[in-house]
Structure 1
Amino acid sequence: MILRQLITSARHPRLAAWVAPAWPTGHASDATLASSAAAPPSSPGQQPPVLVEDRGTHAIITLNRPKALNALSAELCHALLSAVRSLDGDPRLGAIVITGSGRAFAAGVDIKELEGLSQEQPRASVPRLTDDTARQVRPVELLDGLAAVATPLVAAVNGYALGGGCELALMCDIIVAGEAAVFGLPELQLGVMPAMGGTQRLPRLVGRPLAMDVVLTGRRLTAQEALAAGLVSRVVQDPVAVASAIAARVASSTPAGAAARAKAAVRASEALPIAEGLALERELFYSCFGPEQKEGMAAFREKRPPKFR
C-alpha cells in the first residue's frame, strides 16, 4: 500500500497528492520492474547499478557505481526505483536501507547525461517510465517514486552526499551518517539549481537561513554539522550496521501497517495546519485497530514480545 492510499482512506484526499504522489501513471508493470531490477548485467563483466540484499527483517539497497562516486545515472535511478518498488509493502521488512558503495553515498546526478541539453530537453527528451522505456528514468522522477513508498526508508550515508545524492538522502525518513559523511547542494556552481527536492526538504529540516547558505553558496556540511542542524539523526562509525539495526528493530517491534500510518502522519505535518494534522493523526490511529493492535496490546499485558504477522 502506498502512502497516498493510506491518507485517502483517512479522508484526506487533498493532502494525498501533496504528501504521497502516486507512482507515475505510465510506469511499467510490477513484473517488468522486478525482473528488470534482478536482471543480469547487460554485458560480460558489467556490474549491476544497484545491489539488493534481503536480510529477512529488512533489505539493503547499495548504489553500485563506486568509480563514479555512485553518480545518479538514468540506469541507476531506474534500478533503484524498481528495487524499492518491488520491496515496498513486504510485511517482513521493517525498513529499506539505502547506501552507497565505495567512498560516496552518491555524489550527484551523472553530469554526462545532462550536458548539452536545452531548456526543453530535460522535460521532453527522456520518456516517463513505461514498459518500452524501462531504463530511461530521469533522476528527478525519484522524487515522485520514493515519496510514494509506505515502507520506512533509512539512508546510511557513507562519504559524499552531494547534489542529487544529498536530495536522495533527504527523501528518506531517517538519515544515519558516517563520521566522514559530507552533505551539500552545489548545483548553482554548475549553472543550474536543485531539482530533486533540495529547495523544499532541506529548509524543513534545518531552517531557511542554513538552507539558503547551503543552496546559494555551495557550502558543505560535515556529519557533525548535519547532526547539529537536524539533518541527520545519528553520526556513527558504521552507518550501514546502525541503519540495519534500526530497520531490524522496526520489523521486530512494529507491525508494517502501523509504521506506514505513523510515517504518513509525520510527513503530513509538513503540509497541514495543526488542527488538520491532529484530525488526520486520529483517523490513522483508529485505522490501526485490528488483529495487530490486539496482539500488541495482549503482549504488553502478558509481558511478552508481540508476534506480529
Structure 2
Amino acid sequence: MQSITSVRLTSRLPLTFNHATRKSQIVSRFSTTAPRLDYEHIIVSTPVPGVRQVTLNRPKALNALFTPLILEVNDALKAADSDDEVGAIVITGGQKAFAAGADIKEMKDKTFAEVYKHSFIRNWSDATQIRKPLLAAVNGYALGGGCELAMMADIIYAGEKAVFGQPEIKLGIIPGAGGTQRLTRLIGKSRAMEYILTGKTFTAKEALEWGLVSAVHPVDTLVDEALKTASLIASHGRLAVQAAKEAVNYGTQVGLDQGLLYERRLFHSLFATKDQKEGMSAFAEKRAAVFKGE
C-alpha cells in the first residue's frame, strides 16, 4: 500500500508538481471530505486545492481494467463529485500505460447468459454521470477499455508517446463500453470504422489532428499540465462550470435548435445565483471574483 505523504499547499497555484506528490496519497487541508486511502487498485490524492486526482495503479498489469478497479474508480469519482471543495477531477495512469485494455482473464470464460443477465460492464461507464469536469491525462497505452475510459472524460491530454486504439476485433468481440459510439462521434465515421474493424492503433499526434485530444505534452509534464488546467477550471464559479459542461454534453445528443434553447435556459438560470452577481460585480469593480458556488 502506498505511503501517505503530507505536503504543504499554498493558496498560490503551483507551476510544477513533483512526481513524489503525484504518487503519494495526499489529504489536502483544503478539503472538507478527505479521499479514501484504502483503495487497492487506484491512488486518490488532492495535489492542489480544488483538484482531485485519481490514478490507476495496477502497474504490473499495465493498468488493465477489471471490475474491482472500475468499482474503486466509480467510488472515487462519486466522492469527488459530492465534495464541495473539489472543482475538477483528473484521472490518469502510469507513464507506460493509462490502461492497456480490459483484463481478459476476467472475461474469457464468461457466457452469454452470464454477461447478459448481469449487464456486464454496464457500470464501466459511470464516469459519464459525473457532473464536475473530468480531465484524462493519458500516457502510454490507452487501448480497448482504456481508450473508452479516456473518451468518457470531458478533456483529454495525451503524452507524446501515447497510443490509442480499439483492438477488440482481434479477440473476436467489439468494444462494449462506448468505443463504437464515442470514437465515431469524436473522429468521424470512416476513420473510426477503419480502426475499429482493423484493430489498428493510432498515435497521440494523430489523436490531436483528429480532435480526440486537446493537447499533446511531454511524458514527464503531462499530468502537471492536466492539473494546471483543472486548477484553472476549479477557480471559476462551480455552478457556471457545471452548467457549461451540462450544456455542451446535452448539445451533442440533440439537434441545434434544442441545444440552443437548453443553453439559453441554463444561461438564464445562472442569474439566480450569487456567483453571477459576484462575478459581474467583480468585473465592474476591477477586482478578483470570490466564487462560493451559491
* Equivalent of residue 240 in structure 1, options 223, 230, 235: 223
Question: Are positions 1:53 and 2:45 aligned together?
Answer: yes
Residues in 2 aligned to 1:301 and 1:213: alpha-carbon distance in whole angstroms: 52
Aligned equivalents of 1:59, 1:40: Cα separation in 2: 16
Return 267-276 or 61-70, whichever deviates more: 267-276
1:96 corresponding residue in structure 2: 89
Offset of residue 270 of structure 1: 1.5
Aligned residues: 256
| Structure 1 Cα separation of the partners of residues 121 and 283 of structure 2 | 44
Contact 1:166 1:185 in 2 (8 A): yes
Contact map agreement 1:72 1:139 (CA 8 A) in 2: no
In the other structure, the counterpart of 2:184 is 203
Q: What residue identity is the alignment partner of 1:100? A: G
Residue 140 of structure 1: how far off its partner (Å): 3.6
Match of 1:20 in 2: none
The match for 1:259 is 241
Higher RCO (C-alpha 8 Å, min separation 6): 1
Partner-residue secondary structure (3-state), 1:304: coil
**169-178 vs 293-302, greater mean Cα deviation:** 293-302
1:232-255 per-residue CA deviation (whole Å, 9 max, x = no partner) reads 000001221111001100111x11
1: CA distance, partners of 2:234 / 2:196: 36
- Deviation digits for residues 102-156 of structure 1 (CA, Å, limit 9, x no counterpart): 41000111110001111121133x5x8xxxxxxxxx544121x112110000000
Asked if the contact 1:156–1:177 (Cα under 8 Å) also holds between the matched residues in 2, the reply is yes
Runs of 4+ in structure 1 off by over 3 angstroms are none
Question: 1-side partners of 2:158 and 2:230: how far apart?
Answer: 15
CA distance in structure 1 between the partners assigned to 2:108 and 2:269 by the alignment: 49
Aligned to 1:25: none
Q: Give the unaligned 5+ runs of structure 1.
A: 1-33, 42-47, 129-137
Superposition CA RMSD, Å: 1.7
1:188 aligns with 2:172: no
Q: Which amino acid aligns with 1:92?
A: E
Tell me the CA shift for residue 89 of structure 1. Answer: 3.5
Q: Secondary structure at the match of 1:88?
A: helix
Contact 1:69–1:102 (8 Å) recurs in 2: no
What is the aligned partner in structure 1 of residue 283 from structure 2?
300
Q: Which residue of 2 aligns with 1:220?
A: 201
- What is the aligned partner in structure 1 of residue 262 from structure 2? 280
Instruction: Tell me the residue number matched to 1:40.
Output: 38
1:37-69 Cα deviation digits (max 9, x unpaired): 83636xxxxxx2010001322011000001101
| TM-score of the two chains, using structure 2 as the length reference | 0.83
TM superposition shift of 1:216: 0.5
The equivalent position to 2:113 in structure 1, one of 120, 138, 141, is 120
1:136-179 CA distances to partner (integer Å, 9 max, x unpaired)? Answer: xx544121x11211000000001000000000000000000000
Unaligned runs of at least 5 residues, structure 2? 1-32
Amino acid aligned to 1:49: H
2:77 aligned partner: 84
Alignment-derived partner of residue 136 in structure 2: 155
Distance 1:98 1:92 in 2: 17
Q: Per-residue displacement from partner, 1:253-296 (whole Å, max 9, x unpaired)?
A: x1111111111111112111111111100111111121000111
In 1, the alpha carbon distance for the partners of 2:152 and 2:224 equals 20
